[in-house]
Chains A and B, each alone.
Chain A
Amino acid sequence: MAYIISSDAIKETLPGYDPKFAEKFHDISTKLADKKFEKALKNSSMKRVILMSGGSASGKSEYVSEYLKKQKIIISDGTSSSYNRANIKIEKALKHRKKLEIHAVWPTDFATAFEAFFSRDRQFSPEHFYRTHSKSRKTLLRIVRKYPEISITIIVSKYDENRKGQKMEFEVLTDTNRDKLIEFLEKNQYTEEEIKRSQRLYEI
């Protein structure tokens, strides 16, 4: 079974936690998650480590629960939107000679992810959505450029209300050429303002 470290799961253990005010508990839960990750690197015999990447409600935890949960992996299930924090995790994982991978989950469109984001129990401001989607992609691009040895998997989460059976599915990018990957990441960068504008919540 995977050892999954999630700041959202940690939030639920904090005294006084109320999902309606999840944002207030975010800083402390991410710090605790980072400490837990560091401890796992030191103490676990598992060699494979995966850092998840992707904005809020992009489908990361759903991907982990479906495809990674049963494998022997240490998984940091977060947005990786802070370059500094992601970089520290990478350096620590490499120092402990772990086999490090990054799996980035992107939604097919921001609007669908936004619908899931504002409707689920734990609530954050829309700014948190714009910020994590923009910065997680920016961070990923910087990491890909800095660490050519780290394996990167790009996954696209798709929701189709007209599909029979399971309405959600995942697609994985099969092209592993690094230069093409960098080009792909460069083309798929968005500023917070661009993501915000795509929701058509003002000046319509």
Chain B
Amino acid sequence: MKFKTLRPPSKSNRQVREYVNAIEKGRNSYFVVQNGKGWYVRKASIRTSNGKFFPTKSEAVDNARARALRRNSEYLVFNNKGNLLSRKPL
């Protein structure tokens, strides 16, 4: 199938700017993710690595909180089914 690139969106388009800002903010966030053995913390933009391992949820959350604080971003905690348990700061 063939695709044609449309002219680039205008730089003054507020809606596009906000969308791009949301992606960039999202990439700086951290995911706390559960698996069978424990918990992993990884930056949302990292898709090829599991991240840093912690045996307990509280250790993982502490790590994510500290890293998010340094980047002025947020962290999201998911359970072993991929459901969102919490999000800080809301």
A side interface size, CB within 8 A: 46
Cα-based distance from A173 to B9 in the complex (angstroms)? 17
**B interface residues, how many (CB within 8 angstroms):** 44
Q: Which residue of A lies closest to B50 (CB)?
A: A204
A119 touches B22 (CB 8 A): yes
A62 with B27: CB separation less than 8 A: no
Give every chain A residue within 8 A of B35 (Cβ-Cβ). 202-204
- Kindly supply a per-residue 1/0 record for chain A positions 52-76, scoring 1 wherever the CB is within 8 Å of any chain B CB and 0 otherwise: 0000010101100111000000000
Q: Which residues of A contact B15 (CB under 8 A)?
A: 61-62, 65-66
Interface stretch (choices A26-34, A135-143, A162-170): A162-170
| Contact, CB under 8 Å: B2 / A159 | no
Do B6 and A172 touch (CB < 8 A)? yes
Question: Residues of A contacting B16 with CB < 8 Å?
Answer: 62, 65-66, 166, 168
| Segment touching B, from A36-44, A84-92, A110-118, A144-152 | A110-118
A64: nearest chain-B partner, CB-CB: B15
Q: Which residues of A contact B78 (CB under 8 A)?
A: 126, 201-202
Interface residues of B (CB under 8 A from A): 1-6, 8-11, 13-16, 18-20, 22-27, 29, 31, 33-36, 40, 44-45, 47, 50, 76, 78-84, 87, 90
Residues of A within 8 A of B (CB): 20, 57, 59, 61-62, 65-67, 111-112, 114-120, 123, 125-127, 155-156, 159, 161, 165-175, 180, 184, 196-197, 199-204
